[in-house]
Amino acid sequence: MTNFYKDKVIIVTGASSGIGLASVTNFAALGAKVILAARSIDKLENIVAELKQKFSTHGSTAQRFLCIKTDVAKEEDCKNLIEKTVERFGKIDVLVNNAGISMRAVFKDLDLKVMHSLMDTNFWGTVYCTKYALPYLLESKGSVVGVISTAGYVGLPARTAYSASKFAVRGFLETLRIEHLYDGLHVMIFAPGFTASNIRNVALTADGSPQGETPRNEEKMMSAERVARILARGIARRRTQMVLTPLGKATLFASRNIPRVTDKVEYRMMANEPNSPLKK
């Protein structure tokens, strides 16, 4: 894959942690020019300093990385991200829409500002970045990727806003793929399933405050680094859809064939989480 990624210009949103950070590191190892986008510019600059040191033997690294402070929920930030990328590198080959937030609360208790927050970041962030990057991706016959979740295929209880936002991203990208079926644009929907990251630590509760700790055993999940490697292979092979983990694949299969049973299994699984808002 080094031959494929050598000097490719790749934007990764949500680049400061989790799958985003792992992807940035992996793309850099493959020789790509990487643009890191996230809300914390300090974190991004520290990451780039480490990457430059790590890959100092891979030739000149000074011009291979670019940090851009970006809140994807803000259209102007997304527009600026694309403009600054093209200003530096002159093109865009891959856009990885990875930035996202989660939540855990039943809808009847949910403050609607939480629903707005998740739609603004997860859905609108993908729309804004894709809209402004699209002319350059069409020119390069490049790839636009949406990192969703199993929750973008089946509704997860106590994750109403999260599922809604990921369903919306999937619908948007599926339509985009069909619209550009004959002009070389590659669109990939990527659903990693449960991945070890900090997304559950900062997931929003019913009132919009972060829950502070994960309700799941992160050690038993797929690592962000492995997800990043699979993501890179999927882009290189121009896959249209990828669902990872046996649990994710089994959930999709079951939801199509035994939906009522799947509903009960999902409910029980989520109700058994520590401090679950669902009744056991």
pLDDT on residue 1: 77
Q: Exposed, middle or buried: residue 60 (CB in 10 Å: 0-12, 13-18, 19+)?
A: exposed
Tens of pLDDT, residue by residue over 86-119, are: 999 999 999 999 999 999 999 999 999 999 999 9
Residue 240 CB neighbours (<10 A): 12
Domain range for 91 is: 2-247
Q: For residue 191, give the CATH number of its domain.
A: 3.40.50.720
Quick one: angle between helices 41-54 and 18-29, nearest 10? 30
Please report whether residue 270 resides in a domain. no
Give tens-digit pLDDT for 167-192: 999 999 999 999 999 999 999 999 99
Q: Report strand pairing: 94-97 vs 143-147.
A: parallel
Q: Is residue 129 in some structural domain?
A: yes
What's the structural domain count of the chain? 1
pLDDT tens for the chain, residues 1 to 280 = 779 999 999 999 999 999 999 999 999 999 999 999 999 999 999 999 999 988 875 555 668 999 999 999 999 999 999 999 999 999 999 999 999 999 999 999 999 999 999 999 999 999 999 999 999 999 999 999 999 999 999 999 999 999 999 999 999 999 999 999 999 999 999 999 776 656 556 789 999 988 766 665 556 678 899 999 999 999 999 999 999 988 888 998 999 999 999 999 999 988 988 888 888 7
Task: Decide if 272 is inside a domain.
Answer: no
Q: Is 278 part of any domain?
A: no
The predicted structure's pLDDT at residue 203: 87
Instruction: Please tell me the predicted confidence (pLDDT) of residue 202.
Output: 79
Does residue 259 lie within any of the structural domains?
A: no
What does the DSSP 8-state code read for residue 144?
E
The residues carrying an active-site annotation are 162
The three-point CA angle 131-132-137 to 5° equals 90
Res 199: pLDDT: 59
pLDDT at 210: 84
Alpha helices per DSSP H over the chain: 2-5, 18-29, 41-54, 75-89, 112-118, 125-140, 160-179, 224-236, 246-257, 259-271
pLDDT (0 to 100) of residue 187: 98
Q: Rounded to whole angstroms, what are the CA distances from 258 to 110, 212, 265?
A: 29, 35, 11
Can you tell me the distance from the alpha carbon of 47 to that of 272, in angstroms, rounded to the nearest whole number? 36
pLDDT on residue 4: 95
Of residues 190, 250, 194, 187, the one with CA closest to residue 224? 194
Polymer length in residues for the chain:
280
pLDDT for res 279: 83
Evaluate whether residue 263 is within a structural domain: no
* Residue 279 falls inside a structural domain: no
The alpha-carbon radius of gyration of the chain (Å, integer) is: 18
> What whole-number distance in Å separates Cα of residue 113 and Cα of residue 136?
34
The reply to whether 187 falls in a domain is yes
